[in-house]
């Protein structure tokens, strides 16, 4: 085998590389995230590694918005009520949730996806967009860089778009959730590993924040007896961030191109540097 075409579900480590054999030249993942690849180990063995950045930015940003609105406006709860007879009459305060207009939105991780989310949030007439990121990201959206703690304290909606690395592992722990407003909504379309999930369950149970919307969890799929699935104030999606027809076709093609270029020694469109 000369090349591996992998998804986010295949962990590529030294053991897999040993099994693949010394003729392996390329590992290409059909994803932007590459936390499932031991890139250093690949490099050590002279194996080229590539991902599919950019092509799923729009899809993931769209899904982030959809999940945010789904969570804030309680759409799954409302749909269930229509279906199970819970919708008995129209009532003024039934199914109310917070709006985006005049809200402060905080985006943790302001790379391509974070910025694409910010662009899509802005037309909802939010008051402020804050972001936390290792470096300043000049932008024409009017988003302001603040510290992680400041963002947690100030935001009505906290959106996690940060890449999953050892540094971002469980940055959303009990202490982080406790800094958030009691009325805040937490959205995660990055990786489940950025969240201490047991702490999130407790925080949601206690009503210490209003709600959470998660497209990513630990593990995936989430077991059916997960406490997250029993909470009314938690919306869980099955990791469908990039699942538009357009993005899926585009990343499939790019992964094939990455492999072909990697094997012929040409420039790979998504080579991880």
Ligand X SMILES: O=C(O)C(=O)CO
Which residues contribute to the site for ligand X (CB under 6 A)? 8, 31-33, 56, 239, 241-242
CB of 32: closest distance to ligand X in angstroms? 4
Report the distance separating Cα 163 and Cα 113, nearest Å: 10
Q: Which is nearer to ligand X, 33 or 114 (CB)?
A: 33
Q: Which is nearer to ligand X, 20 or 240 (CB)?
A: 240
Residue 141 corresponds to which tokens in the numbers above?
């959206």
Q: Which is nearer to ligand X, 65 or 126 (CB)?
A: 65
Name residue, tokens 């009532």.
91
CB of 70: closest distance to ligand X in angstroms? 17
DSSP 8-state secondary structure symbol assigned to residue 218: S
CB of 109: closest distance to ligand X in angstroms? 13
Name residue, tokens 């959106």.
159
Rounded to whole angstroms, what are the CA distances from 239 to 9, 16, 78, 113, 170? 11, 25, 22, 15, 18
Answer for the pair 186, 160: CB distance below 8 angstroms, yes or no: yes
Q: Which is nearer to ligand X, 207 or 238 (CB)?
A: 238
Q: Which of 239, 254, 258, 261 is catalytic?
A: 239
Active site residue 239: yes
Rounded to whole angstroms, what are the CA distances from 40 to 12, 13, 181, 261? 11, 10, 40, 20
- Residues annotated as part of the active site: 239
């Amino acid at each position: 085998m000369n090349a591996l075409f992998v998804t986010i579900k295949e962990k590529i480590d030294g053991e897999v590389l040993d099994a693949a054999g010394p003729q392996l030249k390329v590992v290409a993942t059909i994803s932007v995230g590459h936390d499932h690849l031991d890139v250093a180990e690949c490099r050590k063995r002279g194996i080229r590694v590539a991902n599919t950045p950019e092509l799923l930015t729009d899809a993931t940003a769209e899904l982030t918005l959809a999940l945010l609105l789904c969570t804030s406006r309680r759409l799954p709860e409302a749909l269930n009520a229509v279906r199970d007879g819970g919708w008995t009459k129209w009532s003024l305060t039934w199914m109310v949730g917070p709006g985006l207009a005049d809200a402060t939105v905080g985006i943790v991780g302001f790379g391509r996806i974070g910025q694409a989310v910010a662009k899509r949030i802005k037309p909802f007439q939010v008051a402020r967009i804050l972001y936390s990121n290792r470096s300043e990201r000049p932008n024409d959206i009017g988003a302001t860089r603040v510290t992680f703690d400041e963002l947690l304290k100030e935001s009505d909606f906290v959106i996690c778009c940060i890449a999953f690395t050892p540094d971002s592992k469980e940055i959303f722990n009990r202490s982080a959730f406790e800094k958030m407003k009691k009325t805040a909504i937490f959205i995660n379309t990055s990786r489940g590993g950025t969240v201490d999930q047991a702490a999130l369950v407790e925080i949601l149970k206690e009503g210490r924040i209003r709600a959470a919307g998660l497209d990513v969890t630990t593990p995936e799929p989430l077991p059916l007896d997960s406490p997250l699935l029993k909470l009314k104030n938690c919306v869980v999606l099955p990791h469908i961030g990039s699942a538009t027809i357009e993005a899926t076709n585009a990343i499939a093609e790019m992964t094939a191109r990455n492999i072909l270029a990697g094997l012929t020694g040409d420039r790979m469109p998504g080579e991880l540097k």
